[in-house]
Amino acid sequence: MCGIAVIFNYGTNDPVSEQELIRIRDRMVARGPDGEGVWISKDGRVGLAHRRLSIIDLSEGGAQPMRSEDGSAVIVFNGEIFNFRELAAVLRSEGHSFRSTSDTEVLLKLWEVHGEDMVDLLRGMYAFAIWDERRQGLFIARDPFGIKPLYVADNGKTLRVASQVK
């Protein structure tokens, strides 16, 4: 199941409250009893949090938030990408390598190669957020049928995203 949470202070220079992010994450403990994680950007304006339910990659290699190899992109992901093995095979044939067997890492590689167009390649049920340091942007996506929940609140200065309203 998993649970994701994001806070992005795009309209202010105030740092993300790590305590608020952890409170949001911990309200979703039932969504992911197998692990938890938090990441806050160097400038403090962006924070991502995750509750993990281990299904595909049970190792620590699948822990989230997950960073790209060069550290420029960070993802939190809830769901399952049904065709991730096929997508990984294509990426490997193009010279990419993987540190884990998780569909989360495949999403990160797809982001690096295809950007926003990556969603056209996905088959599955998903909700995820990617912070890209190079682009200074946040990309949020949910499967076309809305199987995985994703709630968004924006007050004009701060964007908050989570798998649950509470």
pLDDT of 57 over the 60 cut: no
Mean of per-residue pLDDT scores for the chain? 91
**Structure-model confidence comparison of residues 56 and 79, the more confident one:** 79
Q: Characterise 94 by phi-psi region: left (phi > 0), alpha (psi -120 to 50), beta (else).
A: alpha
Cα dihedral 156→158→162→166 (10° resolution): -80
Predicted confidence (pLDDT) per residue in 101-135, tens digit = 889 999 999 999 999 999 999 999 999 999 999 99
pLDDT of 58 over the 60 cut: no
pLDDT bin (cut points 50, 70, 90) of residue 2 is confident
Q: Rounded to two decimals, what is the model's pTM?
A: 0.92
- Say whether the peptide bond before residue 15 is cis (omega within 30 degrees of 0): no
Phi, psi of 96 (to 5 degrees): -85, 150
pLDDT for position 61: 64
Sign, CA torsion 24/26/31/37: positive
pLDDT for position 165: 85
Average pLDDT rounded to a whole number, residues 141-151: 94
| HSE of 144, CA atoms in CB hemisphere, 13 A | 6
The catalytic site residues sit at 2
pLDDT for position 55: 59
Cα angle for residues 127, 98, 89 (degrees, 5° grid): 80
Average pLDDT rounded to a whole number, residues 137-163: 96
pLDDT of 35 over the 80 cut: no
